[in-house]
Amino acid sequence: MITLMQKFMRRLFGNFFKKKKDIKMGLYGPPNGGKTTLANQVCKDWLGEEMGSVSNVAHETREIQIKEQLTIKSNGKELSFNLVDTPGIATKIDYEDFLKVGMKDGEAKARAKEATKGVVNAIKWLDDMDVVIVVLDSTKDPFTQVNITIVGNLQARDIPVLLVANKIDLKKSDIKRIQTAFPQYDVVGISAKCGNNMDEFYEALFKISR
């Protein structure tokens, strides 16, 4: 009950004093869904520069990265926010998985350690988000407990959510599976890598950030 009261007071007074440009828009999701690729695409579209490095090896993003005061425009409207790219949320991290992709023992252990800290920080930051984009790989089964926990926690915190079905350029992509798993949310299919359907994505951002 106390938590509920704290949440209510924070949202009431937090939003009252918050300027529009202080909106924190978080990118959340499991590892390798394409969060940083999407952050890069957004930054390229509106700032002409990338935000972070991407890799096929999971847990490339191990620290919270913020691009401040990003402004996007669509149909004569403007939306300013701080874009927060978070490490992928996972329930397990095994340094031996990194050995399998050719990393040396020390490097693999260090990456695993950093990745665990990244997940902890991503979860801690949930409370600070005003809007969250959950980035899911549309070629994979969306019905995992990590996805359900992320979405459930955003719902419990009353944070507006946009689900992005990424990688629609791939043959195995299936947006409907994501819509079926999370019928209460809008789902936008994009390819962050190829820049496909970004206009619809920006439109959806305006819709949920109102």
Partner 1 sequence: MLTLQFMPYDEIANLVSNKRISKVLNIVKGNNILLLEGRLRKEEEAELIKRTMEEIDEDFKGIELGVIYPDEKKNPDFFNKIKSNMINLLLGDRRGFTIMGPATIVREIKQDPNKIQLFTNTNFKL
Quote the least distance from Cβ 52 to partner 1, whole Å. 21
Q: Are 111 and 63 in contact (CB under 8 A)?
A: no
Quote the least distance from Cβ 93 to partner 1, whole Å. 6
Listed residue (148, 189, 149, 153) closest to 168, CA to CA = 189
> Burial level of 41, CB count in 10 A (0-12/13-18/19+)?
buried
Q: What angle do CA 1, 154, 83 make, to 5 degrees?
A: 130
Quote the least distance from Cβ 95 to partner 1, whole Å. 8
Q: Which is nearer to partner 1, 30 or 34 (CB)?
A: 30
Q: What angle do CA 33, 59, 151 make, to 5 degrees?
A: 45
Q: Which is nearer to partner 1, 25 or 181 (CB)?
A: 181
Quote the least distance from Cβ 51 to partner 1, whole Å. 24
- Which residues in this chain contact partner 1 in the complex, by CB under 8 A? 3, 89-95, 109, 112, 116-117, 119-120, 123-124, 126, 141, 143-146, 148-150, 152-153, 155-156, 183-184
